[in-house]
A and B are shown apart, each in its own frame.
Chain A
Amino acid sequence: MDSRPAFVGASTGAFVAATSSKSAVCVRFNGLRRDAVLPAGQAAASGAASVTMGGNIREMRERISTVKNTEKITEAMRLVSAAKVRRAQDAVLKTRPFSETLQKVLGGLIKRLKADAVELPLLAERTVNKVVLVVISGDRGLCGSYNNYIIKKTEARIKELKAEGLEVELVCVGTKANTYFRRRETPIRQFFNCPQAPSAENASSITDELLAEYLSGEVDRIELLYTRFVSLISCEASIRTLLPLSPSGLETEGDEIFQLTSVGGQFVVKSETVPVAEAEDFPSDMIFEQEPLQILNAILPLYLNGQLLRTLQESVASELASRMSAMSSASDNAKDLGKSLSKEMNRARQAAITQDLMEIIAGSSA
């Protein structure tokens, strides 16, 4: 890989030397790239005769090398994102023991409590005046329309809620959403960075904030806008209500797990739906150290935390997948561009050689 750019450099160097030694020859640049004009070429440009081709070829050669460099960068970014997607998946798998146990106990408690559970502050529906939207976007760009989609979705949701006469405020996760909404009218309550590998601490710092807002009565509903990971080439901006929790939603939600594998050298995502863990039947002599309702109250923040971590992970996976496809199409483009440029350059080079030959033949016959 290393020998290639060095070779290109050496050949252009030789070319520069050749043109500047013939100071009578004028090299005209066609202005493909102004910054590529070298001082040696400018010095040579003061001559009398004019050959268009030479400068053109050198300029093209430079363009080809920049295109190739760009291709290398985008290709590297693609591979890095692919590796990160895989790591993101491992992280999702690691959350399984937690969510499974939680679901079991939660299901058991809800079965035992039945309708009483509705009285808990986190489950109770109250009249909504103010809604907080938690927007999960990325910290970085170069990932196709990932950030754009989630911002558009948020804009649409804000409009909807405002039409209902509700107050809307935002909690932004990720700098991209923050820089966009900072200059717009919807107030931002809080801003968090979007971690590259979301951890439980990241999630709980956000849930703590949201719980404090909700329990203090400042906010009556919290909705989450995130990007659902459908496959490597398709992600979907989605909305879900985080608070108040609905007791029926706690029991019924299944989990989808994605696994990145390679089939025939291509990355492929396999998704499998994991059924909800069965509600646990507590033994009849089970001691409840506190009232079951109180225990449920202590478990719900855990559930929230798990949910938020999950959506963070999913959004990050979507971001990486978008970056992967954006970068792979960028490399494809660079490859095409490089091909057509080198074709053009060869044509120009051949034309110059033909012209030289013609001149020599004409000279010898004269």
Chain B
Amino acid sequence: MTLNIRIIAPDRTVWDAEAQEIILPSSTGQLGILTGHAPLLTALDIGVMRVRVDKEWMPIVLLGGFAEIENNQLTILVNGAEEASQIDLSEAEKNLDTATQLLSDASSNKEKIEATQKIRKARARVQAATAATS
């Protein structure tokens, strides 16, 4: 038995394939899903999702959204998704630095919200890229 996974971004279906196991970045912590899971609905944070196809783990960056599991069918709706292989690690690290700088410089409430958002995205990218290269 396998899990059928669909990752859908607003403008396209990013991923539609089968996998044995996945770990989701839910907003209350990492959440592992195996086949035969009970129906579940969870909000997703900006973070890295890991998918196991056979013995290989694949990291995918998710930019916030939610996931629904029912009958081994996992539907993930996200603002955006990026495969780790497409991320340049050094650039991601640089972006994380600038975002951190932005937060420490932020004075208004709005700037803080924006900077935090940027940091979370950058951190997820760095994580995924590191996981993919190691």
Per-position binary interface string of chain B over residues 1-42, scored 1 when its CB falls under 8 Å from any chain A CB and 0 otherwise = 000000011111100000000000011100100000011111
The total of chain A residues at the interface (CB under 8 A) is 43
Per-position binary interface string of chain B over residues 88-131, scored 1 when its CB falls under 8 Å from any chain A CB and 0 otherwise = 00000000000000000000111011100100000000000000
Residue A273 lies at the interface, judged by CB distance under 8 Å to chain B:
no
* Least distance between A132 CB and chain B CB atoms (Å): 12
Most buried by A among B39, B70, B77, B109: B77
Interface of B is mostly: strand
| Contact of A200 with B9 in the complex, beta carbons under 8 Å | yes
| Contact of A305 with B79 in the complex, beta carbons under 8 Å | yes
| Contact of B40 with A298 in the complex, beta carbons under 8 Å | no
Residue B43 lies at the interface, judged by CB distance under 8 Å to chain A:
yes
* Least distance between B11 CB and chain A CB atoms (Å): 4
Chain B residues with Cβ below 8 Å from A301 are 64, 79
| Contact of B11 with A289 in the complex, beta carbons under 8 Å | no
The total of chain B residues at the interface (CB under 8 A) is 35
Indicate whether A287 sits within 8 Å of B38 (C-beta atoms), given known contacts A208-B117, A212-B114, A298-B43. yes
C-alpha gap A199/B28 in the complex (Å): 29
* Least distance between B19 CB and chain A CB atoms (Å): 19
Residue A9 lies at the interface, judged by CB distance under 8 Å to chain B:
no
Chain A residues with Cβ below 8 Å from B75 are 101
C-alpha gap A98/B65 in the complex (Å): 12
Residue B44 lies at the interface, judged by CB distance under 8 Å to chain A:
yes
Partner of B27, one of A198, A290, A309: A290
Per-position binary interface string of chain A over residues 278-309, scored 1 when its CB falls under 8 Å from any chain B CB and 0 otherwise = 00001101111110101101110110011001
| Contact of B10 with A289 in the complex, beta carbons under 8 Å | no
| Contact of A297 with B43 in the complex, beta carbons under 8 Å | yes
Most buried by B among A201, A212, A289, A309: A289
Chain A residues with Cβ below 8 Å from B42 are 288-290, 295
B35-66 contacts to A (CB < 8 Å): 38-44, 63-66
Indicate whether A95 sits within 8 Å of B11 (C-beta atoms), given known contacts A101-B77, A200-B79, A298-B65. yes
C-alpha gap A98/B6 in the complex (Å): 11
Using CB atoms, name the residue of chain A closest to B78. A302
Chain A residues with Cβ below 8 Å from B41 are 105, 282, 286-289, 292, 295
Residue A327 lies at the interface, judged by CB distance under 8 Å to chain B:
no
| Contact of B113 with A212 in the complex, beta carbons under 8 Å | yes
Residue A4 lies at the interface, judged by CB distance under 8 Å to chain B:
no
* Least distance between A283 CB and chain B CB atoms (Å): 5
Chain B residues with Cβ below 8 Å from A306 are 10
* Least distance between B44 CB and chain A CB atoms (Å): 7
| Contact of B77 with A102 in the complex, beta carbons under 8 Å | yes
Using CB atoms, name the residue of chain A closest to B69. A287
Indicate whether A199 sits within 8 Å of B11 (C-beta atoms), given known contacts A101-B77, A212-B110, A297-B43. yes
Chain B residues with Cβ below 8 Å from A356 are none
Interface pairs (23), CB distance under 8 Å: A98-B77, A101-B77, A105-B66, A198-B11, A200-B9, A200-B11, A200-B80, A203-B11, A208-B114, A212-B114, A216-B110, A216-B112, A287-B38, A288-B41, A289-B28, A289-B43, A290-B27, A290-B43, A294-B27, A295-B42, A298-B65, A298-B66, A301-B64
New A-B pairs, 9, CB < 8 Å, besides A218-B110, A289-B40, A298-B65 = A91-B11, A98-B77, A204-B63, A216-B113, A218-B108, A288-B42, A295-B43, A299-B77, A301-B64
Which 3 A-B pairs give the minimum distances between C-beta atoms?
A: A298-B43, A289-B42, A216-B109
